Amino acid sequence: MEVKILGAARQVGRSAILVSHNGTRVLLDYGALTTRIPGFPMHVQPREVSGIVLSHAHLDHSGALPIYFLRKKIKLHCTPVTSELSNILIQDFIKISGQYLPFEYVDLLSMNSSTVFHDYGEGFEIGSMRITLYDAGHIPGSSIIAVEAGSRRLIYTGDINSEETNLLKPADSSVGEADVVVTESTYATSDHPERLKVEKEFTEFARSVVERGGVLLVPAFSVGRAQEIAMTLYKNGFRYPIAMDGMALKVNNVLLRYQEYLRDPELLRKTIENLEEVSGWSQRRKIVKRPGVIISPAGMLVGGASIFYNERISMEEKNGIAIVSFQVPGTPGRTLLEKGLTVHNGKTAKVKAELRRFDFSSHSGRSRLISMLKSIKGNPTYITVHGDEEACVSLADQLKTDIGAYAVAATQGQELSI
């Protein structure tokens, strides 16, 4: 079995791996780097690809996929919820970055008609390979991918979370033995704080902002994080108005149709029933003046209604802004978090609203990631990807030291024979 890292390995973004065996060549993910001018993985000619398996909907794993569907012969394999969610995200990607993309909406439609759905645990074949998906616990539909070819077995973690959240069950820990494990390394250098404590602190912050007459803005990704935040508030007895805006509402509708992928569908249903769904500008202008919580994409203030809300909310002391996800360097969300600065009336200004950060990560932190990796039997070789340089190298070093494994922090274009 040969494994080639096509994506930028020591970086988060444009994930893509090519696995080859006896003339069968399967792509695992084909993501984009969603910077202002998007970046893509190394290319493999469509005629050389036997099939594609998608781990989950996030654009850094799915964003460049439509390139392979200009002609319709290749099949895309994923869970049904991953297919629907990646469609929502790729459509938005085309809307925002269309001029830089080597594909169009019609190619996304072609991708949809070439998609084959699989549930967790249900094996399927591509050429000489047998593939199985396992729950990765990261976002709804997210999968760990196992590839068996000849006598070899590869496990690709995709993005993984082995801790239970309000929205999702933890990652499946019974993924079987492996000869090689390709693992994400996003949080390989740090542990997350205790989840229930974060939930309590966040709910208390929301309550204190609203009870002093303020509005709390929570810029949040539309897939997973927006729902997790709303569920946290509902579960912790927060009964003031909660409004949700943008693509997150479309995602709610998808998730309600795929309850088997959720930890507690009833909690999500009640949370959504309790939300005010924002559908237009008059409503937006009204809710920025009323004490309550507004959950709105984009999570890093790069687009969507969160920009409007931030402009209206950030300049009053009684208001609050809660940052609940990782902010990529160079984004307005990162500038806000690091320097307390935002753009107001076209000028850079110091934020007056109370700014707080809460760690609601959907990736395993260091200890959980390492213990999950160590628990995989079969004495596998580990390849670390999907993290910054320090994270990928440190995770590989740790695995070498702890269990004497052969572990390598891969570089883009690197090929390994397993």
Does 159 engage in binding with Zn ion (CB under 5 A)? Answer: yes
Q: Let me know how long the chain is.
A: 418
- Neighbour count for residue 319 (Cβ, 10 Å): 25
Cβ partners under 8 Å of residue 210, min gap 6: 216, 240, 291, 292, 293
Distance of closest approach, residue 138 Cβ to Zn ion, in angstroms: 6
Closest to Zn ion by CB, 92 vs 159, is 159
Are 243 and 278 in contact by the 8 Å Cβ rule? The answer is yes
Site string for Zn ion, 162-191 (x = CB under 5 A): ------------------------------
Looking at residue 182, its amino acid is V
Stretch that binds Zn ion, among 58-66, 121-129, 209-217, 366-374 (CB under 5 A): 58-66
Which of 58, 153, 192, 368 touches Zn ion (CB under 5 A)? 58
**b/e 26-40 (16+ beta carbons within 10 angstroms → b):** bbbbbbbbbeeebbb
- Contacts (CB under 5 A) with Zn ion, residues 358-417: none
DSSP single-letter state for residue 39 = B
Closest to Zn ion by CB, 159 vs 264, is 159
Does 29 engage in binding with Zn ion (CB under 5 A)? Answer: no
Closest to Zn ion by CB, 222 vs 342, is 222
DSSP single-letter state for residue 224 = T
Distance of closest approach, residue 385 Cβ to Zn ion, in angstroms: 13
Looking at residue 412, its amino acid is Q
State residue 216 phi and psi, 5-degree precision.
Answer: -105, 120
**Of 135, 182, 132, 180, residue with least CA distance to 156:** 182
Tokens 């190394």 correspond to: 42
Stretch that binds Zn ion, among 52-60, 179-187, 224-232, 238-246 (CB under 5 A): 52-60
DSSP single-letter state for residue 262 = S
Closest to Zn ion by CB, 27 vs 217, is 27
Distance of closest approach, residue 343 Cβ to Zn ion, in angstroms: 28
Does 14 engage in binding with Zn ion (CB under 5 A)? Answer: no
Closest to Zn ion by CB, 160 vs 180, is 160
Task: Count residues near Zn ion (CB under 5 A).
Answer: 2
Closest to Zn ion by CB, 9 vs 351, is 9
Distance of closest approach, residue 71 Cβ to Zn ion, in angstroms: 28
Distance of closest approach, residue 58 Cβ to Zn ion, in angstroms: 4
Q: From CA 42, how far away is CA 45, in angstroms rounded? A: 10
Interaction site with Zn ion (CB under 5 A): 58, 159
